[in-house]
Amino acid sequence: MIPRYTRPEMAAIWEPQTRFKIWFEIEAHAADALAELGTIPKDAAKTIWAKAKDVTFNVERIDEIERETKHDVIAFLTHLAEIVGPEARFVHQGMTSSDVLDTCLNVQLTRCADLLIADVDRLLSALKTRAFEHKMTPTIGRSHGIHAEPVTFGLKLAYAYAEFTRARERLITARKEVATCAISGAVGTFAQIDPRVEAHVAKAMGLVPEPISTQVIPRDRHAMFFATLGVIASSMERLATEVRHMQRTEVLEAEEFFSEGQKGSSAMPHKRNPVLTENITGLARMVRAYVTPAMENVVLWHERDISHSSAERMFGPDATVTLDFALNRMAGVIEKLLIYPANMQKNLDRLGGLVHSQRLLIALTQKGASREDAYKLVQRNAMPVWRGEGDFQTLLKNDADVTKYLSNAEIEEQFDLGYHFKHVDTIFARVFG
């Protein structure tokens, strides 16, 4: 995490103080359950809460202890004992470090998921607003980057809305999958702790018990979580790339908002560059890069090793913080996007009507021409227009082989722009309900 691409709400989830607070809550809830089962004194459980519930843990002190013990959970427990006193001997009974670490990580990931879902909601709201604003704004559709047939700008945004609706559903599923708790002790057999303790802690922390763990919560859950973040990052980059293409000088159908006093180049004062969407593209690459170590973390030795730990300490915060920042930046881009319908129309007209070639092809076949002959007739009139040597409609009207099948009025009918938009309402109903 670096401050430039970090929002405070997401960063707070990964701060040491937050982590130690969660660790304490896991231990204290476990103590409550142990007390109810008669394993430890009830007064001890009450004292643990009373002494440490509202304390600010001394991160420097914990780090100091860890430098000697070389064990982060032991360092925390030692510091907790300094705060709680003699009753601290009842903390962590029957538990192993992974019970605390893995349950804490899943609490953090569920909190991250909640923020990311809210981020996607903001983006969806922006996309929906702008899609309806430009529902019938004509623009050119492109395949292979080349003019194809007319679409509307609203349809472009509706496509993104549908994609991020799926992203939201995937996030909800990923959150559910990772929201598990393991308080099962060494190698996951519950030999030293009652399964009812796990059930109590899970409920208290907003999780569900892991059906079966080893000494760690299975990492296929986490792999799926971060794979979901990677897919969302790819969707975001697709939308960002669309904006970048539209902002090119030769296209200029839309562009990022350019604020008062903003500078586009240190050398060229005229520049207005798509810096926000370029930034999103780069951040999306980073989020996707973290999917691979998450996948590799699934493969652990026997009941536990810690080869996953160092990787998760890095990509857990980085992937969530980065995606959170990028999603909010993308929402801001769409909310303030400058859209130029006149330029869209100019680009639509740029090829002199060639975008209607398929309608001419179909019309000729309906009048009796074979598909092969119809294709040749349309193409031979289209290529001169492509080279800037005439008007498509005029050339068609002057081609005797074409007028043998179609009258001038029938040719003109195929150039109706509105024909392409007759099902826009149907598509919008499918997307937005």
CA 386/CA 198 separation, integer angstroms: 71
Tokens 């519950």 correspond to 190
Bridge partners of 254?
339
CA 251/CA 67 separation, integer angstroms: 59
Residue 265 falls in the annotated catalytic set: yes
Q: Six-digit token pair at 105?
A: 């990580």
Residue 357 falls in the annotated catalytic set: no
CB atoms within 10 A of CB 425: 11
**Cβ atoms of 397 and 342 closer than 8 Å:** no
Distances (CA, A) of 154 to 67, 101, 160: 58, 47, 10
3-state DSSP assignment of residue 77: helix
β-strands 138-143, 146-152: how paired?
antiparallel
Tokens 């919560």 correspond to 217
Catalytic residue among 125, 259, 265, 370: 265
Residue 31 CB partners (closer than 8 Å, separation 6+): 40, 44, 45, 48, 90, 91
Tokens 């099902």 correspond to 423
Return the ∠ at Cα 216 (arms to 210 and 222), rounded to 5°: 75
Surface-to-core class of residue 266, CB atoms within 10 Å of its CB (0-12 exposed, 13-18 middle, 19+ buried): exposed
DSSP state for residue 160 in the 8-state scheme: H
CA 4/CA 326 separation, integer angstroms: 11
DSSP state for residue 248 in the 8-state scheme: S
Catalytic residue among 29, 92, 144, 307: 144
CA 401/CA 21 separation, integer angstroms: 82
CA 75/CA 20 separation, integer angstroms: 11
CA 394/CA 397 separation, integer angstroms: 5
So which residues are the catalytic ones?
144, 265
